[in-house]
Chain A
Amino acid sequence: MDKTLADDNVDLSRRRFIVSSAAAGGGLALGVHVPFGIGSAAAADAAGTEVNLWVAVKPDDSCVIRIARAEMGQGTRTGLAQLVAEELECDWSKVTTESVTAARNYASKRAWGNMSTAGSRGIRDSQDYVRRAGAAARMMLLQAAADEWKVPIADLSVANGVITHRASGRSTSYGKVAAAAAKLTAPDPKSITLKSPKEWKVAGKPVKRLDTADKLNGKKVYAIDLQLPGMLHAAIKACPVFGGKLASFDESKIKGRRGVRGAVRVNDSTVAVVADTWWRAKSALDALPIVWDEGADANVSSASIAAHLKSGLTSDDAFADSDYGDALKAIAGAAKKTEAVYSVPFVSHSTMEPMNCTVRLSTDKAELWLPTQNAEASMAALSSSSGLPLEQCEVHHLDLGGGFGRRIGNLDVVRQGVAVAKQFPGVPVKLVWSREEDLTHDFYRPIAQCRMQAGVDDRGNLLGLFLRVSGQSINAFANPAAIKDGKDVRQLQGLWKQPGDAQIGYTVPNMRIEYAMRNTHLPVGPWRGVNTNQNAIFLECFMDEAAKLAGKDPLEFRRALMGKHPKHLGVLNATAERAGWGKPLPRGVYRGIAQFMGYASYTAAVAEVSVSSKGEVKVHRMVLGTDCGHFVNPATIAAQVEGSVAYGFDSLLTEISVQKGRVVEQNFDTYHIARLKHLPKVETVIAPTHDFWGGVGEPTICVAVPAVLNAIFAATGKPVRTLPLKHSGLTLI
């Protein structure tokens, strides 16, 4: 099994591809180290005149805005363009975008900054320098007009790409002055004053996405659609038991099949068949006799994994992140107390575009086409696996048919693709995973259990809260170096004591939050929202159990603990108010509420649910709120909120289970993803405080499920502690 993003971080730094974190992360975050250097002088072609690295202007005044982050549906391409255009003061109706390639970024010493698109960082980590880039281009275009007219720049005004000299009434346009502007020296980015978001005209508005048209007529080309002359196609199978090996395969049995070029040992656990079409390759692969050496984990099952995790609920190898007062003592002495164990399953990313890449190798060039959330990491993997230096590598990253954390670099697929393409020099080979391969060889959302205790006094105040998470660690699998002193704080995401990114929103006088690592042989990784998903279910469902113990309304019970967390409280209040918390509901419909923080944004949700006597759960309406600080496109935020409900519903509906060391669910007939009928009406509350930049793609997903579970609890009086719902005799309809 190919591991780790960390592997390639090592590769990257060895190759000095990622500059030091101080220069890259810190500098870019401040937005003062990104050069707006003058483009090549010869750039006044069909692509337009490059005013700076981010902006090119065409003679017809249309502006091409360069985008370095990946677009996987989350709307970052449009949002970043809005931010650049806002400062550029161009005509939004004439904006197009173009992707920066990893090779170009590398050749420019990462002038476009970090291309990684994960952790809901596409906008919040880029916003400062892309806005400065737009402003710098505007200043250069205005200066060019001022120079031409020999007037002070201060006497000019600009709107929609038209520059006007107020005194004389003369006007010109960006297209006419772009060539002169491109020859000017770029302003010092530090000298640029950005607009206050209160002045925004394009940013902050629900403008239409720039990338919709080709998604409606079949014209959009995803990497899986790529067609190149002479292209071959590869289908692939890795050992069904993680950690197992490929012992042998009998290629003679597929010799002579139409179109088949041969079987390839890809690595020590994987075999591929290559043919002139993918269907012929896949059919031959299915017919290929393969002997696996299943290895040491061939007897692992969901039951043995559950027992392994259960041991972590009471073991003495945990560490505490939060530890205030004496939680266990306070609970022991409390007037009323309760205890519960929750468990959540592995779930799969299941991007709709199956995993794929196309590789063409020659003696002096490696080319790669793929959907990736991090084209730079993909390029590093291309270089290391092909043996060619980065200077001879080219990565064409196409917009993704879904990412969700599965395609951060796509390193496993790239290495496989290179291994196969090595057997066919000069020929482009497209490797496509079957859905079965995808579901059985994902980097799953970590499985976890949680034991919690609460104690309340005789007036219903929460005196003590204890929480022990036991489950698999993403870092242990993918990035062990991130674990300091054996304490993997990442698995407590959303329960952190530190403010700013994923802080717990409650103040409890006696509170202890622990994690015990219990790893399995399944690969795990970031799954949209990552560990906030499990931890929000644990904390927020148990808060409702504690509220019931205290005899309090779940909202009032929470509010009493949130006085020192005004942003958590603000979005909770805004969401509850819009949802009509406390107001009458139709007979048989019940509400549930949840709040949580992740990716620097504060979120809350209210669900309205009914449960039939047969255990059929219907979610009628959900209101989800987010305080993401500043916001760039409310329509996109609503799309992400709506989508997060559907994605979050995985753990209500389905699970990845294990028998004989392998994943049981092979396709969508057994891995039950939410369909249209399962989704309630979703309303989005944007409750911005305008004083920070939070993420959007992931934060709301974690509150969707606990809000529904708490509504079920309200309806039935029985908490749902084990997911998916079928383990509690319930079905989502």
Chain B
Amino acid sequence: MVELNVNGKAHRLDVEAEMPLLWVLREIVGLTGTKYGCGVAQCGACSVHIDGEVMRSCSIPASFAAGKRVVTIEGLSPDGSHPLQIAWAHYDVPQCGYCQSGQIMAAAALLRKKPKPTDADIDEAMTNICRCGTYQRIRAAIHTAAGTGKAGGSVIHIVDASAASTPAAVADERSNASA
């Protein structure tokens, strides 16, 4: 038996003491917002807070979390109103979204320690893998949620190039001859 407090709710669970917290959360408690990505504490998709510290739940046995306060993405805020969730929505950070629970949990732990993080702080703390490459927007969303006043996000230049090209010239004439 392992007794867990997850998002403020007590659970008494008949699981092996060595079952990783990730799988207890996902398959026993039924909270699937915390993701499996690597199983070796490298990618951070499984990040949760244990007594306020961000930890990679794939590599934490359930017994370690017993008696401690576990917070998952589902419990970060009651209604998606955490400043990071709001900033994440503002920048449309997620692409596929799979890693974002872990990213947000890592960022939340960073802000608790360093309410006004620098870029270097963000570089150091945000080691979670995002395969879609949302890193630039993650950085911007953290700055915005923290109110650091640092600009960021996407920079988009739209340059009308239609005057500069003539469709007929697209085909190399030699290509047409030899095709």
A residues adjacent to B (C-beta < 8 A): 72-75, 206, 208-209, 211-222, 224-225, 227, 233, 258, 277-279, 323-324, 350-354, 399-404, 432, 434-436, 497-500, 503, 507, 564-567, 569-571, 573-574, 578, 625, 627, 634-635, 637-639, 642-647, 667-669, 673-677, 679, 681-692
Contact = CB atoms under 8 A, between A and B. Distances in A.
27 contacts: A73-B97, A212-B97, A216-B94, A216-B104, A217-B73, A217-B74, A217-B76, A225-B26, A227-B30, A279-B19, A352-B45, A399-B96, A435-B37, A503-B175, A574-B159, A578-B159, A625-B159, A639-B132, A639-B137, A642-B133, A647-B132, A667-B40, A675-B127, A676-B123, A676-B139, A685-B157, A689-B164
B98 to A, nearest CB: 3
Contact of B169 (A221, A402, A564): A564
Interface string B63-97: 00000000011101100100001001100111111
A210 to B, nearest CB: 10
Given A668-B38, A668-B40, A687-B161, A676 B172 contact: no
B144 interface: no
Contacts of B139: 676
Contacts of A221: 32
Report the 9 A-B pairs with minimum CB-CB distance, sorted nearest first.
Answer: A218-B33, A646-B133, A73-B96, A215-B97, A401-B98, A643-B133, A73-B95, A225-B32, A668-B42
Given A258-B16, A278-B23, A574-B161, 17 more contacts: A212-B94, A215-B94, A217-B33, A218-B31, A277-B23, A352-B130, A353-B98, A354-B37, A402-B132, A435-B38, A497-B175, A564-B172, A639-B137, A676-B139, A677-B123, A679-B133, A684-B155
A118 to B, nearest CB: 15
Nearest to A506: B172
A503 B155 CA distance: 28
B126 A353 contact: no
A690 B16 CA distance: 61
A683 B158 CA distance: 11
Contacts of A435: 37-40, 43
B154 A638 contact: yes
Given A402-B131, A676-B127, A688 B160 contact: yes
A499 B171 contact: yes
Contacts of A211: 97
A566 B172 contact: no
Contacts, number: 266
B161 to A, nearest CB: 4
Contacts of A258: 16
A684 B80 contact: no
**Interface extent on B, as a size class?**
35 or more
Contacts of A635: 92, 154, 156
A642 B73 contact: no
A669 B80 CA distance: 32
Contacts of B72: 218
Interface in B83-133: 85, 88-89, 92-101, 104, 122-124, 126-133
B156 A638 contact: yes
A572 to B, nearest CB: 10
A498 B171 CA distance: 8
A682 B154 CA distance: 7
Nearest to A208: B92
Contact of B129 (A218, A352, A637): A352
Contacts of B134: 639, 642-643
A499 B170 contact: yes
Contacts of B73: 217-218
Contacts of A498: 175, 179
Contacts of B93: 212
B172 A503 contact: yes
Nearest to A573: B164
Interface of B: 16, 19-20, 23, 26-28, 30-40, 42-43, 45, 72-74, 76-77, 80, 85, 88-89, 92-101, 104, 122-124, 126-139, 154-162, 164-167, 169-175, 178-179
Nearest to B155: A683
B38 A689 contact: no
Contacts of A212: 88-89, 92-94, 97
Nearest to B26: A225
Given A432-B36, A667-B39, A676-B123, A686 B133 contact: no
A228 to B, nearest CB: 12
Contacts of A675: 126-129, 135
Contacts of B169: 564-566
A474 B162 CA distance: 35
Contact of A352 (B33, B99, B137): B99
Nearest to A439: B38
Contacts of B34: 218
A573 B160 CA distance: 12
Contacts of B173: 564
B87 to A, nearest CB: 10
Contacts of A400: 96
B136 A681 contact: yes
A220 B97 contact: yes
A689 B165 contact: yes
Contacts of B26: 225
Nearest to B18: A283
A686 B158 contact: yes
A177 B144 CA distance: 44
Given A213-B80, A217-B80, A635-B156, A570 B164 contact: yes
B92 A689 contact: no
B62 to A, nearest CB: 10
Contact of A685 (B23, B94, B132, B159): B159
B37 A352 contact: yes
Contacts of B35: 222, 224, 352-353, 401
Nearest to A209: B92
A608 to B, nearest CB: 14
A635 B134 CA distance: 12
B150 to A, nearest CB: 12
B131 A352 contact: yes
A681 B85 CA distance: 22
Contacts of A570: 161, 164-165
Given A218-B31, A503-B175, A643 B95 contact: yes
Contacts of B99: 352
Contacts of A691: 162, 167
